[in-house]
Structure 1
Amino acid sequence: MSTAIGIVELSSIAAGYQAHDAMLKAADVESIIARTICSGKFLVVIGGSVSAVTSALAAATHVAGGFLIEVLNIPNIDRQVFAALSGTVQLSADHSRAMGIVETFSATPIIEAADAAVKTADVTLYRVHVSMAIGGKGFMLLNGDVAAVNSAVDAAKEVIKVSGMLVNTVVIPSASPQLFMDYV
C-alpha cells in the first residue's frame, strides 16, 4: 500500500519518459499518472513507501536535467487522494450538501492542496483532475457540510499560496444533486 506520492513535471516529453523509466528502475513504486499534459509537458505521479518515492524522485531529478519544472514528495498522504486521482470515488446518497472547488494554474499544487484539505476537515474528496485538456491547470472537487468544506478549501488555499498558483476557489452551499452527478 502506497503511503507517499511523488510528482515530477517536465517541460520535455522525451525527458518525461526518461525520468519515468528512471523512477521505475530506482525503487518499488507504482505509476499513478504518466502522460503528456497541456502545453507540451509531461507529468509523472507515482506512489509507494516514503523511502521508495524519495529514491525514485532522486533518480528522476538526476536524469531530468534542465527540463525539470517541479518535483514534489508528499509523505503520509491521505488515501482519499489516491482514489480521487484515479476516479474511483463513490459518493453516498447524501452527497447533495456543499461542493467545494479549488483550481490551480498547474498540476502539482492541486495534489498537495487536496491532501491538506482532507486532513483538515471531514470532507469527501471525489475528484482531482490534473492538467489534461484544461490548459495545464489542476482542480479538485470536495463534498461535505458547509463548515467542513469551507475549512478544507481554506486549508487548500494556504498550501497553494506558497507556490502562487491559485486560480480560484468556490464553495457552493446546498449544491444541486445533479451538479454532483455531472462531475463524478
Structure 2
Amino acid sequence: MTTKTDTNPALRAELGLGPAIGLLELCSVARGIEVADAVLWEADIELLAATAVQPGKYVMLFTGAVEDVRSSVRRGAELAANDLVDQLMIPNVHEQVEQGLRRQGGTVDGTLDALGVVETHTVAASILAADQALKTATVDMLELRIANGLGGKSYFTLTGEVSDVRSAVTAGASLATERGQLAREVIIPRPHVDLVRHL
C-alpha cells in the first residue's frame, strides 16, 4: 500500500488523537466560529480542526478525555441550537479512522476481493459509520473523504473479503440510516483493476 496524496483540504494536518474525539457540524460559519470558541472554554480539549466546508457549513473536530469531550459536545450543541447539522462523540475511535483523518489512506496496485463504499450527507455520519464498519469486520479502509469538493457530503471506501466488506458496509450504512444521513452504500465484488488504480 502506498500513501495517498492529500486531496482533502482543511480537515487536518497533524492529528494527535486522545481517548475520545468529538465533532460538531453547523450550517452557519459565523455561529460555528462562536461555538468553537465556546467548546474550548468549556473543557480541557485540543482543537484538531475548525474550518468552513461545502456548502457553507462549519466543522470542528476535537480530542481529549472522554468526559471533557462529552462536555464540550454537549455545550457546543446547546449553543449551536437550530444551526446544528450533526454531531458525534466517539470514546475510543478506531485506529483506521484516525489514519483516515490524518489523510493516511492508501491506494492498491492489483486486484481487490471486494470494494465497499458508504456515502453520507454529513461529515459526522461518515466518521461514525466508518468507525462502526471497521469495528464490525476485518476490513481495511482505503479512504475517508470529508465534505470539501463533495457538495457537503462525505464517504469512505473499504476493502477485504466479500463477506467482511458486506458486513462492514451493512453496519456502517445502518448507523447512517438511523441518523437519517445515508446517501448510498455499494458493494462491488472483484472491482476492475483499472477502477482500483483510480480509487
- Specify the TM-score bucket, using the shorter chain as the normaliser: 0.7 to 0.9
Superposition deviation, residue 133 in structure 1: 1.6
Superposition deviation, residue 105 in structure 1: 1.8
Residue among 89, 109, 127 paired with 1:73: 89
1:28 aligns with 2:44: yes
Structure 1 Cα separation of the partners of residues 135 and 150 of structure 2: 26
* Matching of residues 1-184 of structure 1 within 5 Å: 1-90=17-106, 96-183=112-199
Question: Any conservation in 1 of the 2:140–2:159 contact (CA below 8 Å)?
Answer: yes
**Structure 1 counterpart SS, 2:88:** strand
Q: TM-score, normalised by structure 1?
A: 0.87
Deviations 1:110-162 (A, max 9, x none): 11111110000000113221211211111111111111111100101211121
Q: Percent identity?
A: 33
Alpha-carbon distance change, 49 to 153 in structure 1, aligned in 2, over 3 angstroms: same
Q: Which runs of 4+ in 1 moved over 6 A?
A: 92-95
The amino acid that maps onto 1:28 is D
**Structure 2 counterpart SS, 1:57:** helix
Superposition deviation, residue 38 in structure 1: 1.6
> Which ranges of structure 2 fall in alignment gaps of 5 or more residues?
1-16
Question: Any conservation in 1 of the 2:50–2:60 contact (CA below 8 Å)?
Answer: yes
Structure 1 Cα separation of the partners of residues 112 and 163 of structure 2: 14
Superposition deviation, residue 92 in structure 1: 6.8
The amino acid that maps onto 1:80 is Q
Deviations 1:29-62 (A, max 9, x none): 3334321122211111222221121122133234
Question: Any conservation in 2 of the 1:85–1:127 contact (CA below 8 Å)?
Answer: no
Deviations 1:76-130 (A, max 9, x none): 2212111112211346767733111011122221111111100000001132212
Structure 1 Cα separation of the partners of residues 98 and 72 of structure 2: 18
Structure 2 Cα separation of the partners of residues 76 and 95 of structure 1: 32
- State the number of aligned residues: 183
Structure 1 Cα separation of the partners of residues 153 and 162 of structure 2: 25
Q: TM-score, normalised by structure 2?
A: 0.81
**Structure 1 counterpart SS, 2:156:** strand
**Structure 1 counterpart SS, 2:68:** helix
Greater percentage in helix: 1
